[in-house]
């Protein structure tokens, strides 16, 4: 099977499995004062240092969570008390939209252009209106979109939110981690969510970075772990696996460039084979590992099935919720009509992808396209 669904979850790296196995074999509770507990504490704190260094912050600002969903929920619920209104972009991940929708604060949304990029002028107007009414916003905007790979101008947005409305900014950086250079300090945000399983770490581990000095109301209360921000015995093995995945990123300096070149060749091939193929966000800055495309009327579901039968795993629509076939709110926000949005599939690559994987995927897809289009022509070669 060729796996091209890294934005859903990346294959777990061998060194991560090793780190997890090692930590599981050494079973102390990080809150225990005996030697085994202190060793477990060491694992957690060393992972915190590695993560902090990787994302340009200090260890004290890092809170480990059970993943990106919990980090997003903690960010919004935990910081809501500082603000009077919530503002989220229309292309946020479901975990942000659901958390925002379940809160008592008034909620407004801000949109994107046809390329999926936040409309800064419209956001500026909304922020000015907020400031005019004396309301302080908590703004949530993702660093990179899970469906299209489009990268948002988060640093500019953070500046606007702080300068125009004195608000707080949260960024869901789950898809940005390891794919683009990013620094909590340089982005200038107040809160940032991360997840391990998008970079070849284990699922079920993530982190929330919280600006120093910003009080946060915990969602999980109890033993007071993680400086009281997130109670519950730490997932030591998962955290060790997260750290191992982060360390592996250090040896992958040229990967994004490589994946970007392969994606460009893949997209050229799609366009040549199917001139009616639309590539979402093609004119925006995108993660090098992601392409989301559609041929109007060729449904995403049948493409995913045809590719699966051909030995290639990809996603249709919002892949984090694979299995439920709903129209993508992201593509709708970008102006795609129902037919186009339901025809989209996403191919996403990563640390273990080869050029041959993409060539073979393109060949399987071309065959499916031709069958659908009723064409009969010599098949694309795999290479």
Closest CA to 175 of 200, 194, 155: 194
User: Is residue 200 a contact point for ligand PLP (CB under 6 A)?
Assistant: no
Residue at token pair 């915990």: 218
Q: Tell how strand 85-89 and strand 206-210 pair up.
A: unpaired
Q: How long, in residues, is the chain? A: 383
**Which residue's CB is nearer to ligand PLP, number 146 or number 299?**
146
The one among 61, 73, 95, 126 contacting ligand PLP by CB under 6 A = 95
The one among 69, 73, 140, 328 contacting ligand PLP by CB under 6 A = 69
Q: What one-character DSSP code corresponds to residue 324?
A: S
Q: Which residues of 30-57 are buried (b: 16+ CB within 10 A; e: fewer)?
A: beeeeeeeebbbebbeebbebbbebbeb
Q: Which residues pair with 168 in a beta bridge?
A: 138
SS3 240: helix
**Which residue's CB is nearer to ligand PLP, number 172 or number 267?**
172
CA–CA gap between residue 180 and residue 252 (Å, rounded): 12
The helix (H) or strand (E) run that includes residue 120 is: helix 120-132
**Which residue's CB is nearer to ligand PLP, number 72 or number 349?**
72
SS3 138: strand
**Which residue's CB is nearer to ligand PLP, number 242 or number 365?**
242
**Which tokens belong to 104?**
């008592």
Q: Which stretch binds ligand PLP (CB under 6 A): 48-56, 66-74, 82-90, 255-263?
A: 66-74
**Which residue's CB is nearer to ligand PLP, number 220 or number 265?**
220
CA–CA gap between residue 208 and residue 211 (Å, rounded): 10
CA–CA gap between residue 334 and residue 178 (Å, rounded): 26
**Which residue's CB is nearer to ligand PLP, number 67 or number 188?**
67
Q: Tell how strand 278-279 and strand 2-3 pair up.
A: unpaired
Q: Report the nearest approach of ligand PLP to the CB of residue 289 (Å).
A: 13
**Exposed/middle/buried for 204, CB within 10 Å: 0-12, 13-18, 19+?**
middle
SS3 3: strand
* CA 93 centroid distance within chain: 8
Q: Which stretch binds ligand PLP (CB under 6 A): 17-25, 42-50, 62-70, 368-376?
A: 62-70
Cα–Cα–Cα angle for 109, 110, 111, rounded to 5 degrees: 125
User: Is residue 320 a contact point for ligand PLP (CB under 6 A)?
Assistant: yes
Q: Report the nearest approach of ligand PLP to the CB of residue 72 (Å).
A: 6
Q: Report the nearest approach of ligand PLP to the CB of residue 78 (Å).
A: 16
SS3 69: helix
Q: Kindly identify the residues of this chain, within the stretch 155-184, that bind ligand PLP according to CB under 6 A.
A: 172, 174-175
SS3 315: strand
**Which residue's CB is nearer to ligand PLP, number 69 or number 328?**
69
User: Is residue 206 a contact point for ligand PLP (CB under 6 A)?
Assistant: yes
Q: Kindly identify the residues of this chain, within the stretch 333-372, that bind ligand PLP according to CB under 6 A.
A: none
**Which residue's CB is nearer to ligand PLP, number 351 or number 365?**
351
**Which tokens belong to 182?**
């990013």
User: Is residue 192 a contact point for ligand PLP (CB under 6 A)?
Assistant: no
The one among 73, 89, 195, 291 contacting ligand PLP by CB under 6 A = 195
Query: x/- site string to ligand PLP, residues 260 to 299, per CB under 6 A?
Result: ----------------------------------------
Q: Report the nearest approach of ligand PLP to the CB of residue 95 (Å).
A: 5
Q: Report the nearest approach of ligand PLP to the CB of residue 381 (Å).
A: 34
| Size of the residue set binding ligand PLP (CB under 6 A) | 15
320 is catalytic: yes
Query: x/- site string to ligand PLP, residues 130 to 149, per CB under 6 A?
Result: ------------x---x---
Q: Report the nearest approach of ligand PLP to the CB of residue 5 (Å).
A: 12
Residues that bind ligand PLP (CB under 6 A): 67-69, 72, 93, 95, 142, 146, 172, 174-175, 195, 197, 206, 320
Catalytic positions: 320
């Amino acid at each position: 099977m060729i796996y091209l669904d890294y934005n859903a979850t990346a294959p777990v790296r061998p060194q991560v499995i090793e780190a997890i196995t090692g930590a599981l074999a050494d079973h102390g509770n990080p809150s225990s004062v005996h030697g085994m507990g202190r060793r477990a504490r060491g694992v957690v704190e060393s992972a915190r240092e590695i993560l902090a260094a990787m994302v340009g912050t200090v260890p004290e600002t890092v809170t480990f969570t059970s993943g990106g969903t919990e980090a997003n929920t903690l960010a919004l619920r935990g910081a809501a008390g500082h603000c009077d209104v919530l503002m989220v972009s229309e292309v946020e991940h479901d975990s942000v939209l659901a958390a925002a929708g379940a809160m008592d604060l008034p909620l407004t949304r801000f949109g994107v252009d046809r390329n999926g990029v936040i409309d800064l002028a419209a956001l500026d107007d909304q922020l000015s209106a907020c400031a005019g009414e004396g309301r302080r916003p908590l703004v949530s905007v993702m660093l990179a979109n899970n469906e299209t790979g489009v990268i948002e101008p988060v640093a500019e947005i953070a500046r606007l939110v702080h300068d125009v409305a004195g608000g707080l900014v949260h960024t869901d950086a789950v898809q940005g981690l390891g794919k683009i250079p990013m620094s909590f300090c340089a982005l200038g945000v107040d809160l940032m969510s991360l997840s391990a399983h998008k970079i070849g770490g284990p699922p079920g581990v993530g982190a929330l970075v919280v600006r120093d000095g910003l009080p946060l109301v915990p969602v999980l209360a109890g033993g007071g772990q993680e400086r009281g921000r997130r109670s519950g015995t730490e997932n030591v093995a998962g955290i060790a696996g997260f750290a191992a995945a982060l360390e592996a990123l250090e040896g992958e300096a040229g990967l994004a460039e490589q994946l970007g070149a392969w994606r460009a060749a893949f997209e050229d091939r799609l366009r040549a084979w199917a001139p009616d193929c639309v590539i979402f966000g093609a004119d925006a800055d995108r993660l090098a590992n992601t392409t989301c495309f559609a041929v109007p009327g060729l449904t995403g579901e049948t493409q995913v099935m045809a590719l699966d039968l051909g030995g290639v795993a990809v996603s249709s629509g919002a892949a984090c919720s694979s299995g439920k076939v709903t129209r993508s709110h992201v593509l709708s926000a970008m102006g795609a009509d129902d037919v186009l949005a339901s025809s989209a599939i996403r191919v996403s690559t990563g640390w273990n992808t080869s050029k041959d994987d993409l060539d073979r995927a393109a060949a399987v897809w071309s065959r499916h396209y031709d069958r659908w289009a009723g064409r009969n022509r010599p098949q694309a070669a795999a290479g």
